[in-house]
Amino acid sequence: MGETLLSLLQEALKLEDDGRSYYLDVAQRTRNPLARRTFEVLADEEAKHRSYVEAYYRAQERCAEGPSMAAVGVESITQTDRARNVFEEAARHAHEAVTEETHLQEAYVHATELECKSIEFYQAMLAKADDANIVQFLEFLVDQERHHLELLSRTQDFISDPATWFFDEEKWTVEG
């Protein structure tokens, strides 16, 4: 992958920066505590991803072999922990109205598009990767972006229709 990898990593840096900027903007504009916390968490995670990609970029400049994920300082958080953190933080602000703001629907659609774009980008890189460490790193990033999609979906569902969200989350059974 060599020189191509460096240019792809530069693109990845921009992708992560763009996502972080967008998420921070939405978080600052919304009054909905769950949406605000969701976008703050996503912005923080994009910043982490950027630091990981930057570390890979620097390592790739020095030698042809990609560093291990541990050498880059990759921290993995599970999808369950991420969602729990978002919902628990939002619960602390339960006294604030959990309303659906007009711009949130558009924000969630755009955020979903950003995450899908990231997944496609990293999957395309993965298809070209031949270094085991880089493959592992790219698989990690794809997995993280998929978790972001899931978090967006879960919080959007809660904001749009809390009753159905609780029904699905608690796995209620209706008998007849």
Look at residue 34 and tell me if it is in a domain.
yes
Whole-prediction pTM value?
0.79
User: Domain for residue 78, yes or no?
Assistant: no
In a domain, 80, yes or no: no
Counted domains in the chain? 1
Within a domain: 156 = yes
Asked, for residue 126, whether it belongs to a domain, the answer is yes
Give the residue numbers spanning the domain of 106: 2-64+92-169
For residue 126, the domain's CATH number is 1.20.1260.10
Q: What's the pLDDT score for residue 136?
A: 92
Instruction: Note the pLDDT tens digit of each residue in 65-90.
Output: 677 777 777 776 665 566 566 666 65
Where b means 16+ CB within 10 Å and e means fewer, 105-117 reads eebbeebeebbee
Q: pLDDT, tens digit, for every residue of 15-54?
A: 999 999 999 999 999 988 889 989 999 999 999 999 999 9
74 falls within a domain: no
Collapse the DSSP code of 149 into the 3-class scheme (helix H, G, I; strand E, B; otherwise coil) and give the result. Answer: helix
